[in-house]
Structure 1
């Protein structure tokens, strides 16, 4: 089987739009053998919306789309703002922190846990679970890490199965209860579909926001003039976020499979080939973004394709942007300086699809 890479912005956009020629039903056939006896592995990697094409994808997506709509976001905004203030106050008080564990992770973990109605004591496990899911999806695993990945999937399966049983007995005002009540073509979702939804929502709710916040702080730590400018003008925070999404995106790429021979930019991708859409490269395409390697929050065009496009556009994009905006607003109001404590201690994740720091020691000067 051949593997093709697409790097140009317009070509990536074409592939994201065209679900008939570029199929998303990729991951189910590539589930690692060490997860063959783990139902949660098949649920997340093979049965989630990420691995589906229309019309099946369309039906399932409609079930959760309302949870990420305007009314839901308005209800949770006050809670995100309050938690952001609490976390920012703690960071400013300490001065020197490991930013991921002290700020970038707790914020989205609280939000997605709240939406799903999950026990807060599990928040410390969320990131390990998601790192192992990403590792399994990316094929970045070794004999030494296989055991940990298997255990993460089994832990998720045990816990989410218990949650499903509890919500069936006593429904609550949360997304899990809504999914149990939901029907597609008159049929309720089965346990595997429900596990797939919960796993995907955990993944999407954590990974993009954690890395968006981490990548933003790394970018600003080497650009103090941009940090001071945005701090003095908080209204520019959305522009900052969009430029980080282009310049240092959380999502670096997604796989598709060619359903037929496809002519694209002078080349022909053969039927059956795996195609990797390099979304991070698309964000640096000079035909779309002049001087693409320059970080500029005043760009007329920014944002890139990190949240996808078309039917697979990330359902949680608005939520991730809101969390990042409110988090940065709170943080910038309480600190006046920023620097990386020790660049040699910055640790990056090991995955093909997403990129961001998993350990980021930063020093902040407290606002006086």
Structure 2
């Protein structure tokens, strides 16, 4: 390869996997745009990056979200941009919100929300699945965890979209820059109000826990508290929205699979895992080298920005037989969909539960799924890939 590929080129955004295959074959460590990150594309190399925070620092996440036109970096003081030991100390604080008992209490409320959303989707008419279903279910879940009023839920997706799409905003796109600043200001205002309310009237919820928790005898700083809420809202929403989108797309594209999971609901978890591999909502993670690294003959000096391509690793032919074939009968463990090591996604179990409930609900109500992929509008994020708009027709059972 002689020129830098642009991951945001329209054809690549719609289908990045041919480019990933070329990178794995011919340039497993190669600079890409936007940003000039060093893309690492092979499974073993991506896994090595994720498992070695001392050599590949998570501070790389700050690089792509620092913009002169933003008043602050939304990822500052979040777990995404922290390394051990501070990362491990703070990560333990939110584990209770995602434990088995907490998820069990949430499940009936999530199912009721999913059933209500599905009941509103008209049979045989084209709707935007994002607006009709996939945005609202995780918004309800995150709003419930944070104890935020339902009137705020309608804003979540816009905030999350604007935050994760910061890298794709052009320097001369003043309109999008202004909208993104407005989203950040609104998000800060709502979350600060929620924290002030919990200071006055503590409740049994995540925000109240966050305000009273201590690490080594010290409370979290206001910036760390805000960072936790930003991360939970943005990361917990964005990845799950796109997972739900890709679940429906996969049912539409593979009617034989639809028939199998409809016949035997015990196959739903395997179906979800294959969607996570094949359509990878989380496409990459960003890291920063802390020392010189030589990989496949390429020398990366300290401070080099690295893009570990999870979406490519999930299609690596050295680890997956016929990786471009959608197959829910695959065996073995794929460590990539939610990251690996210290930064394995703490909300993975919640996302899987939301996906399972969504699938069970949609399969109960609809017999046939049609997705108009030629009318997708894709987001522009280095880390998360999915459609902003997803026209579908769902036909009642």
Q: TM-score, normalised by structure 1?
A: 0.93
After TM superposition, the structure 1 = structure 2 runs for residues 11-30 of structure 1, keeping only pairs within 5 Å, are 11-28=45-62
Q: Is residue 368 of structure 2 the alignment partner of residue 337 of structure 1? A: yes
Aligned counterpart in structure 1 of residue 141 of structure 2, from 111, 116, 126: 111
Q: Is residue 275 of structure 2 the alignment partner of residue 244 of structure 1? A: yes
CA distance in 1, matches of 2:299, 2:292: 6
CA distance in 2, matches of 1:357, 1:229: 26
Q: Is residue 45 of structure 2 the alignment partner of residue 3 of structure 1? A: no
Q: Is residue 153 of structure 2 the alignment partner of residue 123 of structure 1? A: yes
Determine helix, strand or coil for the equivalent of 2:120: helix
Q: Is residue 63 of structure 2 the alignment partner of residue 32 of structure 1? A: no
CA distance in 1, matches of 2:36, 2:248: 38
Contact 1:243 1:303 (8 Å CA) reproduced? no
Contact 2:165 2:379 (8 Å CA) reproduced? no
- C-alpha displacement at 1:45, in angstroms? 1.8
Aligned counterpart in structure 2 of residue 294 of structure 1, from 325, 330, 337: 325
- C-alpha displacement at 1:304, in angstroms? 5.4
Contact 1:284 1:293 (8 Å CA) reproduced? yes
- C-alpha displacement at 1:269, in angstroms? 2.6
Unaligned runs of 5+ in 2: 1-34
CA distance in 2, matches of 1:300, 1:239: 9
Counterpart in the other structure of 2:231: 200
Aligned counterpart in structure 2 of residue 169 of structure 1, from 197, 200, 218: 200
CA distance in 2, matches of 1:120, 1:50: 27
1:139–1:360: structure 2 CA closer, same or farther, 3 Å change rule?
Answer: closer
- C-alpha displacement at 1:302, in angstroms? 5.8
After TM superposition, the structure 1 = structure 2 runs for residues 220-235 of structure 1, keeping only pairs within 5 Å, are 220-235=251-266
- C-alpha displacement at 1:119, in angstroms? 1.2
Counterpart in the other structure of 1:132: 162
- C-alpha displacement at 1:270, in angstroms? 2.2
- C-alpha displacement at 1:265, in angstroms? 4.1
Q: Is residue 292 of structure 2 the alignment partner of residue 261 of structure 1? A: yes
Contact 2:292 2:301 (8 Å CA) reproduced? yes
Aligned counterpart in structure 2 of residue 323 of structure 1, from 329, 351, 354: 354
Q: Is residue 216 of structure 2 the alignment partner of residue 185 of structure 1? A: yes
Aligned counterpart in structure 2 of residue 73 of structure 1, from 92, 103, 116: 103
Larger mean Cα displacement after TM superposition, 191-200 or 344-353 = 344-353
Larger mean Cα displacement after TM superposition, 239-248 or 216-225 = 216-225
CA distance in 1, matches of 2:350, 2:311: 21
Unaligned runs of 5+ in 1: none
Runs of 4+ off more than 6 Å: none
1:284-322 deviations in Å (ceiling 9; x for gaps): 000111111111111113645121001100011000000
- C-alpha displacement at 1:266, in angstroms? 4.5
1:366–1:320: structure 2 CA closer, same or farther, 3 Å change rule?
Answer: same
Q: Give me the CA root mean square deviation.
A: 1.7
